[in-house]
Amino acid sequence: MVEHYDIAIIGAGPGGYSTALRAAQLGLSVALVEKDQKLGGTCLNRGCIPSKALIEATRTIADVRDGARMGINASIESIDFERLNRYKQDSVVSMTEGLSSLLKARGVTVITGSAEMTGPRQIAVSPSNQDHAPGSEDRRHRTGERTDGDSDRVARHAQACVRIIEADDIVLATGSRPRPLPDIPFEGTVIDSTTALDLPRFPRKATIIGSGTIAVEFASMWRQAGVEVTLLIRGDRVLSAWHRRTSQALTRSLKRQGVNVITHSHALRIDGSDRSQPSTALRYITEGDDGEHTLTTDIVLVAIGRDPNTDEPWFETNSLNLDEHGLVVTDEYGRTNLPHVWALGDITKGPGLAHRAFAQGLAIAETIAGLHPQPVDDNTVAKVVFTTPQAASVGLTLDQANDDDAVISAEETIYPMLGNPRIMMSGQPASLALVTGRYTELPDVTVLLGAHMLAPDAGDLIAEAEELIGNRVPLDRASSLIHPHPTFAEAMGEALLKADGRPLNTR
């Protein structure tokens, strides 16, 4: 029996479930297919939520230790890892069960199983543990050639799969997975972020390979919990694609916390990773040095990026257009090269962030429903790293603004964060840079183009900059907004005043 829906969505992460919720709200019938037993994708189950729960816990440890600076003498007796893991899991369960209830209330049909496109506007769903690749027995199907046996193929699916679903529109939200080192698989003591979050207790010594968000968040979290952490990075600073001043400030902060940051390094091999040895030996080289270096460690976390889940045979069979990185090629609204097939989130070009995928889902659902939403502008998608202190960034750096033909008269304003009393009280390093300029289409109006910061709660502070950038608020109006005193947010107000040529508490 074939079921019909207005929209069928493959993947129930933030992009998939936001599409489902908005489409159902607009009166469309929706099927949401997820291979995992729990909804929410990597973000809710294996990423954002469990990692931030642990970060919140270890931040408490750091706060207790920081008390001595203010005359509060306290100490950490021990970490009850059973209760800590229960706290982490309770956070996940609360979010996933809440999502399930919301989808049910909206009338979304949730289907558990592995989905694949079997033809135009059709998907087949099989049990998640069933290895069922359509056409795997026939080379012509794998290469996307149409054959007279296509009708037989659909019939076989009808027998082998739980459900055959036809939909007017299909949305692909299959997400991504951790990327391993070349020729060094994830096994034994060489782990990815998912395994790291499931460790029953923190390691004594940990080596992290990578310089991006996941790598530095684990480095900060584990170090605050007392783990001896070594961070191997390819360049001269973490977050190397970010605003230089911000990433340099975070690199210095990690070193100050006791993280051993080894720059310009390259891992060669890992010995003793099968857990049969008392320790794991990581061999690496550094730029300008002769010979190999060796690190002994309990665990090696590889956090060098993520790969899109687009390598299932049906992506090729259906002739979906992928780029050289395996990402689905779409227009600004998420349309693929196939009619009525859409893609979003980690399998599309752009920052692999949950909130971006969520916004893409809203835009796709509204477009399918016949509305005319604005597409997601990656320039207004904020990036946040939940280290201590936090790093956050949105919009253009000065170099990017100077390279953008649509921007003229770009300038950078550096605000000395220690001028903010709350920053000073926190005792944490901080940095704030604003980029301002004018667009060629509005040559008489100066606006905020970018904001890049390292500060306590920077993830919350960056939201104001995102609004100002996205709405192109004139700088003179933005700088006239009143910020409460004394707050961390007041630093943004002071920085805007300085950028507008009206500095008060700074030169």
Binding residue positions? 52, 174-176, 210-217, 305, 346
Question: Closest Cα to residue 165, out of 130, 128, 129, 119?
Answer: 119
Residue 60 φ then ψ, to 5°: -65, -40
Catalytic: which of 157, 372, 452, 485? 485
Question: Closest Cα to residue 454, out of 505, 387, 506, 500?
Answer: 387
Block residue for tokens 């649509």: 406
Count of other CB atoms within 10 angstroms of residue 377 = 11
* Measured distance CA(160)–CA(130) in Å, rounded: 9
Q: Which helix (H) or strand (E) holds 301?
A: strand 299-302
Question: Closest Cα to residue 359, out of 492, 449, 470, 194?
Answer: 470
Q: List the beta bridge partners of residue 395.
A: 450
* Measured distance CA(127)–CA(108) in Å, rounded: 20
What residues contact 218, with CB distance under 8 A and at least 6 apart? 51, 193, 196, 206, 208, 301, 303
Task: Report whether 8 contacts 31 (CB < 8 A).
Answer: yes
Task: Report whether 121 contacts 167 (CB < 8 A).
Answer: yes
Count of other CB atoms within 10 angstroms of residue 425 = 11
What residues contact 458, with CB distance under 8 A and at least 6 apart? 384, 389, 390, 391, 392
Task: Report whether 62 contacts 426 (CB < 8 A).
Answer: no
What residues contact 32, with CB distance under 8 A and at least 6 apart? 9, 12, 16, 17, 20, 39, 103, 108, 109, 110, 111
3-state helix, strand, coil split of the chain in percent (to 5) is 35, 25, 40
* Measured distance CA(498)–CA(507) in Å, rounded: 8
* Measured distance CA(10)–CA(31) in Å, rounded: 9
* Measured distance CA(353)–CA(383) in Å, rounded: 8
Catalytic, 485? Answer yes
Annotated binding site for FAD: 52, 174-176, 346
Annotated binding site for NAD(+): 210-217, 305
Question: Closest Cα to residue 371, out of 27, 10, 68, 8?
Answer: 27
* Measured distance CA(229)–CA(297) in Å, rounded: 9
Residues forming the active site: 485
